[in-house]
């Protein structure tokens, strides 16, 4: 199991487009992937459910804990972290 804390840095946060990218990416791996807010608000979200991801209401500067578990957990973690660090490709 991998666990890492990341900060959402893009201006709009995890809005629909960003969430869509994250969910698509998460679906490419076999590992179980979940996200939860570090402030404990909201239950942890299955990264494959866009509804759950949206419900995290992660705005800019929200800290999220990512958990990946499975055969490709390391790769999944790397991919997700770089997507977030890359601000979901937004300017």
Partner 1 sequence: MPGTTRRLREERFEGIGVCNGVAIGAAFLVDDPRGRVLRVFLPPEEIEAEVARLHQAVQAAQQQLQDARKRLQDALGDEYAWILEAHLLLLQDSSFIRQIEQFIRERRANAEWAVKDVTRKLLDVYATISDEYLRERSSDITDVTNRLIRILAGTKPRDLSALAQEAIIVADDLLPSVTAELDTGKVLGFVCNTGGPTSHTAIIARSLGIPAAVGLRNITSRVRSGETIIIDGSTGTVIVRPTPETLRFYSEQREREQQQLLRDLEERELPSITADGTKIALRANIELLDDTEPLHRYNAEGIGLYRSEFLYSQVQSGLPTEEEQFEVYKILAETSGAAGAVIRTFDLGGDKLRLEGFEEEPNPALGLRAIRLSLTIEEVFRTQLRAILRAAAFGNLKIVLPLISNLDELRSAKRIIAEVERELREQKIRHGEDIEIGVMVEVPAAVVMVETLAREADFFSLGTNDLIQYLLAVDRVNENVSRLYEPLHPAVLRAIKYAADAAHKTQIPLSVCGEMASNPAQVVVLLGLGIRDFSMTPAAIPQVRRIIRAVDLNQAREIAAHAISLTTPAEVNRYVQTQIARRWAHFLTPAPTFV
Positions in 59-78 near partner 1 (CB under 8 A): 59
Residue 90 in tokens:
């937004």
Q: Burial of 9 by CB count in 10 Å (0-12 exposed, 13-18 middle, 19+ buried)?
A: middle
Q: Provide the 3-class DSSP secondary structure of residue 71.
A: coil
Report which of 55, 20, 56 is spatially closest to residue 37, judged by C-alpha positions. 56
The verdict on whether 24 is a catalytic residue reads no
Q: Please report how close the Cβ of residue 81 comes to partner 1 at its closest, in angstroms.
A: 20
Question: Which of 15, 21, 37, 87 is flagged as catalytic?
Answer: 15
Only segment of 2-10, 21-29, 64-72, 77-85 that touches partner 1 (CB under 8 A): 21-29
**Token digits of residue 37:** 């807010």
* Site for partner 1, rule CB under 8 A: 12-13, 15-17, 19-21, 23-24, 46, 49-52, 54-55, 57, 59, 89
């Amino acid at each position: 199991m991998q666990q890492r804390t990341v900060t959402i840095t893009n201006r709009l946060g995890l809005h629909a487009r960003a969430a869509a990218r994250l969910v698509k990416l998460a679906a490419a791996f076999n590992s179980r992937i979940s996200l939860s807010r570090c402030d404990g608000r909201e239950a942890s979200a299955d990264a494959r459910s866009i509804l759950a991801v949206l419900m995290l209401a992660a705005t800019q500067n929200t800290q999220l804990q990512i958990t990946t578990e499975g055969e490709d957990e390391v790769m999944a973690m790397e991919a997700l972290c770089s997507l977030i660090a890359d601000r979901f490709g937004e300017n």
